[in-house]
Amino acid sequence: QVQLVQSGAEVKKPGASVKVSCKASGDTFTTSYIHWMRQDPGQGLEWMGIISPSGETTSYAQKFQGRVSLTRDTSTSTVYMELSSLRSADTAIYYCARDKDTRMVTPTDWGQGTLVTVSS
């Protein structure tokens, strides 16, 4: 089983950007699609986007188009999620998750989550 370890909690001011990392162990990471989701405190899950194994292909939820960017460093088995123009409504726990196959519909192994707090 692939283990995903995310970077630590962040506190940002409105209008700033945040970049969260997701580092994996295991050989299967190099062939895995990686999803990003977020969860508002005490609320449900929301899908943000996905990046291909090579990092060349991404797909984003319409809600986040233009504000989110997923990138991948294959040499370090790390995926990054950057969210810009932050507002208080972006305060949430952000999760990365590996997909079990190439259909890109089943976030399978999840990271521990990263709390991002947006506050002036």
Partner 1 sequence: QSALTQPRSVSGSPGQSVTISCTGTSSDIGDYNYVSWYQQHPGKAPKLMIFDVIKRPSGVPDRFSGSKSGNTASLTISGLQAEDEADYYCCSYGGPYTLVVFGGGTRLTVL
Among 26, 84, 110, 117, binds partner 1 (CB under 8 A): 110
Nearest approach in angstroms of CB 49 to partner 1 is 8
Contacts with 65 (C-beta within 8 Å, 6 or more apart), sequence order: none
Count of other CB atoms within 10 angstroms of residue 112? 12
Output the smallest distance, CB 9 to partner 1, in A. 13
Tell me which of 7, 28, 104, 117 binds partner 1, using CB under 8 A. 104
Q: What's at 4, amino acid-wise?
A: L
Q: Is 119 exposed, middle or buried (0-12, 13-18, 19+ CB in 10 A)?
A: exposed
Chain-centroid distance, C-alpha 37: 6
Query: What is the distance between the alpha carbons of residues 104 and 52, in angstroms, rounded to a whole number?
Result: 9
Task: In angstroms, give the least distance from the CB of 47 to partner 1.
Answer: 4
The single residue among 8, 62, 75, 89 that binds partner 1, judged by CB under 8 A, is 62
In the bound state with partner 1, the residue whose beta carbon lies nearer, of 9 and 16, is 9
Distance of CA 119 to the CA centre of its chain: 21
Least distance (Å) from partner 1 to the CB of residue 105? 4
Q: Which chain residues interact with partner 1 by CB under 8 A?
A: 35, 37, 43-47, 50, 59, 61-63, 95, 100, 103-113
